[in-house]
Amino acid sequence: MSEATAEPRYAARASRMRASEIREYLKLIDQPGLISFAGGIPDPALFPAAAFAETYARVLADPARSRSALQYSVSEGYLPLRQWIAARMLSDRTIACTADNVVITSGSQQALDFIGKLLISTGDTALVTAPTYLGALMAFNAYEPRYDTLPLDATNRTPAAYADAADRAGGTVKLAYAVPDFANPTGATMSAAARVKLLELADALDCAVVEDTAYTELRFSGEAVPSLASLEIARKGSIEASRVIHCGTFSKVMAPALRIGWIVAAKPIVRRFVLVKQAADLHSGTLDQMVMHEVADATFDTQIAKVRASYGARRDAMLAALARHMPKGVRWSQPDGGMFVWASLPEGQDAAALVQRAVSEARVAYVPGRAFFTDGTGANTFRLSFTLPTPPEIEDGIARLARVFATV
Amino acid sequence: MSEATAEPRYAARASRMRASEIREYLKLIDQPGLISFAGGIPDPALFPAAAFAETYARVLADPARSRSALQYSVSEGYLPLRQWIAARMLSDRTIACTADNVVITSGSQQALDFIGKLLISTGDTALVTAPTYLGALMAFNAYEPRYDTLPLDATNRTPAAYADAADRAGGTVKLAYAVPDFANPTGATMSAAARVKLLELADALDCAVVEDTAYTELRFSGEAVPSLASLEIARKGSIEASRVIHCGTFSKVMAPALRIGWIVAAKPIVRRFVLVKQAADLHSGTLDQMVMHEVADATFDTQIAKVRASYGARRDAMLAALARHMPKGVRWSQPDGGMFVWASLPEGQDAAALVQRAVSEARVAYVPGRAFFTDGTGANTFRLSFTLPTPPEIEDGIARLARVFATV
């Protein structure tokens, strides 16, 4: 018997794949008596559960459909679903496209992995906001990029400054990643002017723009801002001349468990993603795609209204409770939608150290903000999700959290 | 309006991602009047459709289960499913393991992608048989390996010869990939002696052994051969000292559309794969995993018996028809299981050129073999799948194909 270790020699990229510390906070969600603002997951009470149950039953009750639903299918995704998405992209987001511009992914997380796989060589630069969505960093990290910071509004850095820094790191700027509506973790929305500036920067750098619209439907107040894809199509004349890779998901409005998201882009780019999809997992679940198509077609608008009303009331409850209870020096954002309020303690305080006290003394959880930064800053920041607790729980939890912060 | 191309500058690996020519042949399956031996997909008439319908309905009818089934879940996979797989690995394959040794993947195709991602740096060597499963090449290609040829039985190359060739190519041998039972495309099964030799080679090279068991349950005749994982555990004393990464799937025995496969390996390796899974798509479908667990628990043994009887009869029909009709000089394998007969035309003939005549004149399709080789050889070889046509269709189709070959 050998005592040799069983572990193979991993590729260099394996050292970039680390467990998200957020996972530890998410585990707190199910602790009895604990009020968790740590999640970032939808309220399951809002899922159209009856429609899903009825549709799975109906598709599987038809022998011909059942056979297709349980069989292998094409890598680009179920055609009626891609057609439905193309129509909604036009009606909801002014993105003129056809089913040939759409590829189905297993949630938008898979879209981010595929984007890294297709675009990033070791040492290439990815522009991301600070803070940014941790799942994007996890996906891109496997392809060993260098990160540089994308400002959300005016920038005093020229395109040449970005390009030079990328060149010195041994690569080029390959993509700029943004969550323009109600970003995770900040809840911030980019202005139309900032979006156009981002597209101009991408033109100057000849890089792709990755638009992650995970929260776009969750607007509770304010006016919708045109998508980066629609602005780019207006500038270039057609989606076929667009450099935007637009990613969407059913996870927040419908349900996440079916793992259905999509990429909308110019056809040659979509054809590349179809090859990536085929190599990665052949295709997304056939039955799940068929069911999601029918349930979305029947309930998508109702679902949007339902999640907006529910999450909007909880955002209001959270903003009111923060204003009522938080001690001086704690600051927070005023999101127009999404799932998160972004907050900060006075400079010098450590949100990661305090979360331990918050959990043990106040039985309240949140996510410390540092994990969302690529540069090690953000120690005093934290993220509060308002989508799972009820308004009375939010009021109670924020009051309890404020008492911890008041005694630092 | 710009006329600039919309395509971004892809990573170097993108040039390795090409459309499989096999896809063109698979499209022929649904042509009316055409008898296709081109597939490699299960017969949907054998899916346990009623059990799936009943189980989706039952899980979604329970409000508490429905909420979990439609919600985000953990990256390693649904615990009861992983426990069920661990128990079957012990009972069916003599692989002593626990749920902590199991990670759920979206089909075994995703396992192959993850293995490439975790192990292969550009220029590293992957050992594969010639011919080999095309999907493995597609998955690994994204990580830019060099390929070297793994002989299935005795080899006259020393470990040092493999290592030296890998070193000259600028990397090391990172893995040896094998489909030991009824391989795609050859239908060949490795002897126990050849398996032990492969494990010894891997020890000498300090590389991982990837065991793809996609067809293992489909044995129609002959004695089962111990899995590479079980032989390695016997050699090393525990799965924790094993260098085998064992991949399985429900696609061939149950149904492919739910996209559920698994990796079984030492715990530290599994923990790495969980990180890869989280970054790649967060997790596989929650509802699909819950349903597959219950349907597999209720029907797996019945399903094995059913697919063995059905595909075994079709293999017999194909071997009988080949013997009855094929002209001299055409040779074929005698598989003990799986989905394929591997055949060859006389040296110098081109199976890819002849498939056009087979389709247009005889209305019969097969897959030319060249795509399954990494070295450009195999022009006279071809693959025949027997899992979709009925025995009378097989008899008719092989007779028609033989008439085309007889007039070359």
d(CA A257, CA A266): 28
d(CA A70, CA B239): 33
A67 touches chain B (CB under 8 A): yes
Quote the pLDDT of residue B25: 64
Q: What tokens were used for B408?
A: 């070359």
d(CA B6, CA A402): 50
Q: What is the pLDDT of residues A230-284, one digit of tens each?
A: 999 999 999 999 999 999 999 999 999 999 999 999 999 999 999 999 999 999 9
Residue by residue, pLDDT tens for chain B (408 residues) are 444 567 999 999 998 887 776 666 666 666 788 999 998 899 999 999 999 999 999 999 999 999 999 999 999 999 999 999 999 999 999 999 999 999 999 999 999 999 999 999 999 999 999 999 999 999 999 999 999 998 866 567 899 999 999 999 999 999 999 999 999 999 999 999 999 999 999 999 999 999 999 999 999 999 999 999 999 999 999 999 999 999 999 999 999 999 999 999 999 999 999 999 999 999 999 999 999 999 999 999 999 999 999 999 999 999 999 999 999 999 999 999 999 999 999 999 999 999 999 999 999 999 999 988 877 889 999 999 999 999 999 999 999 999 999 998
Quick one: average pLDDT of A365-389? 92
- B236:A1 CB<8 A: yes
Quote the pLDDT of residue B28: 60
Quick one: average pLDDT of A126-151? 94
Alpha helices in B7-106 (DSSP H): 22-26, 49-61, 63-70, 79-93
Report helix, strand or coil for A217: coil
Please tell me which residue of chain B has the smallest CA distance to A41: B72
A105: chain B residues, CB-CB within 8 Å: 281
Alpha helices in A120-191 (DSSP H): 134-141, 159-168
Q: What is the pLDDT of residues A141-175, one digit of tens each?
A: 999 999 999 886 656 789 999 999 999 999 999 99
Q: What is the pLDDT of residues A59-75, one digit of tens each?
A: 999 999 999 999 999 99
Quote the pLDDT of residue A157: 86
Quote the pLDDT of residue B2: 44
Give the closest-approach CA distance of A342 to chain B in angstroms: 22
A284: chain B residues, CB-CB within 8 Å: 106, 259
A279 touches chain B (CB under 8 A): yes
- Mode of pairing for the β-strands spanning B173-178 and B146-149: unpaired
Quote the pLDDT of residue A4: 58
d(CA B17, CA A25): 38
- A257:B285 CB<8 A: yes
Worst-scoring range by mean pLDDT, A199-203, A297-301, B317-321, B369-373? B369-373
Tell me how far the alpha carbon of residue A345 is from its chain's centroid.
25
Quote the pLDDT of residue B153: 65
- A241:B2 CB<8 A: yes
**Average pLDDT value for chain A:** 94
Quote the pLDDT of residue B6: 76
A323 touches chain B (CB under 8 A): no
For B154, B349, B367, the CA distances from B407, given in Å and listed in that order, are: 38, 12, 19
Alpha helices in B189-246 (DSSP H): 192-205, 228-236
| Gyration radius of chain B's alpha carbons | 22
- A118:B10 CB<8 A: yes
A111 touches chain B (CB under 8 A): no
Please tell me which residue of chain A has the smallest CA distance to B206: A8
A68 touches chain B (CB under 8 A): yes
Closest CA to A194 of A281, A246, A138, A129: A129
Quote the pLDDT of residue A375: 80
- A71:B258 CB<8 A: no
One-character DSSP codes across A253-274: TT-STT--EEEE--HHHHHHHH
B236: chain A residues, CB-CB within 8 Å: 1-2, 4, 6
Say if residue A132's pLDDT is above 70: yes
Quote the pLDDT of residue B175: 98
- A19:B275 CB<8 A: yes
